[in-house]
Amino acid sequence: MRLEASAFNIEARRAVAELKASGLSLIPLYGPEGLCREAHNAFRFKRIYVRPEFGIPFLSSSDIISMRPEIERYLSKNVTKKIDELLVKPWEILISRSGTIGNVALVSATIAGKAVSEHVIRVNPDDPDTAGYVTAFLRSRYGRLQLVQATYGSVVQHIETEHLTRVLIPDLPSIQRIEIGRAVVRAYELRDEANRLLDEADRLLHDRLRLPPLNTLLTGHDGPISATIKASQLALRFEASFHDPVAMAAERLIQSRCIEVASLEDKRATSDIIAVTKFRKRVYVPKGGIPLLTSKQLFQLDPIDSKGLAKGAHIKDLPEIGLKENMIAVTCSGTIGRIQIIPKYMNGWTASQDALRVITTKTMNAGYIYAWLTSDYGQSLIKRHVYGSVVVHIDKDMLGSLPVPLPDLTTIHEIGDLVLEANDLRNTAWEAERRAIDQIEEMIRAEDQFLILKRTNGDIPSHSNSKIPLAAEDYEDYQ
């Protein structure tokens, strides 16, 4: 009953055909006979946002795959009806069902207990190991393609819970399922620990620099805050956002702490701040190539749908667009001031012109600079420079002028080493999860090829010559 071409996606049909040809036992992902028997997508509700102390953190469907979700909105506890049904529980599986289809995440300590929008399907497995296994499969090509194939709609696409009943998943023996599932669960636990370390670095930064949380400067102010600016303070900027009273108060507070303050472009802090200016013409390849991340994908757990640049056509662009371990990326267009410290697994990848690259000097701890830029002080001082109307921007000179406190080296390393340790944990988590996903994909391919080989040798009747058999010398390996 489907007339859309997307419902007959060739890649998805091929993936399902490979699954069925693998010889593995297959069951539905969801349903009475499925691997998971509970799933729902909450309900539509009127969103009333309030201050943090009166609300519950709220995540959108795009936030669920963020390395470190930034909570910007809080749902009212008192006004939102049936709010408990919006809260996600530990080890639920979350699947985005509207707009971008098929983003998959596992609920760990980082987002457990937070409210998630109705644009996310919650799947409740029997135990964490099963949850990890299902997550790994849905993030493999055999799972994601089945989710995307089910989409409907024109302007905004959707999938429904009932579509999960048609998603097939291998019913592996318990020992294999547990092995894969625990690897994924462990990866999410490592990310939780990484986020805990980043929070600790932020706490230490405020403590060691004797800077109170910036929101305490607003205590007692319920309405708008205004300020009077002298002509000598204009700095050729007439936007009210640049003369934000909170940012000005933050700057005065930093200067008053008897700590040396330098600009970000000071050679004691950074060796270079790179803005992408020459990279315009792009040559993509359908498979392989150099991963190119958008400013949004830089913050995803495992960037999906990233495009691949042709290596030969972009060798000359790599010094400008390439990413390196512990490089700091700062978004400079659209959403301003999101900060990422590049983990090891992204080394050699590339990113678009929507992110400035900050490279610290050899004597400066990159983790400290990251901690400062992500702090409430760093964010306020970055965002005051925003210019533009429809699409806002900042440039490298504005970022370079940002004041950075320079305490003693012991303090710098005490704060920065926590961030670097967190970055190492992210890399370990990504590698563990990729191994689990690769294990599933290789298992399906291996079983598929084994059956092809047995048909070729006459052990199983074959009614098709469309598949290429393995070389004879490979037979013993598959036996």
Domains and CATH numbers, the chain: 5-171 (3.90.220.20), 218-256+260-406 (3.90.220.20)
pLDDT of residue 362: 93
In the block, which residue shows the tokens 């210019």? Answer: 387
pLDDT of residue 461: 47
Question: What rounded mean pLDDT belongs to the chain?
Answer: 88
pLDDT of residue 467: 39
Q: What is the C-alpha separation between 422 and 195, in angstroms, rounded?
A: 7
List the structure tokens of 252. 């005065």
List the structure tokens of 358. 């900050």
Amino acid at the residue 332? C
Q: What is the C-alpha separation between 174 and 160, in angstroms, rounded?
A: 29
Closest to 332 in 3D by CA, of 428, 399, 272: 399
Q: What is the C-alpha separation between 56 and 115, in angstroms, rounded?
A: 7
Phi and psi (nearest 5°) for 360?
-80, 160
Compute CA 283 distance to the chain's CA centroid, rounded to the nearest angstrom: 25
191 in Cβ contact with 67 (< 8 Å) = yes
pLDDT of residue 459: 56
Angle at 27 between CA 22 and CA 31, to 5 degrees: 160
pLDDT of residue 377: 96
Q: Exposure of 436 by Cβ count < 10 A (0-12 exposed, 13-18 middle, 19+ buried)?
A: buried
Residue stretches of the chain with pLDDT short of 70: 218-223, 447-479
pLDDT of residue 455: 52
pLDDT of residue 447: 60
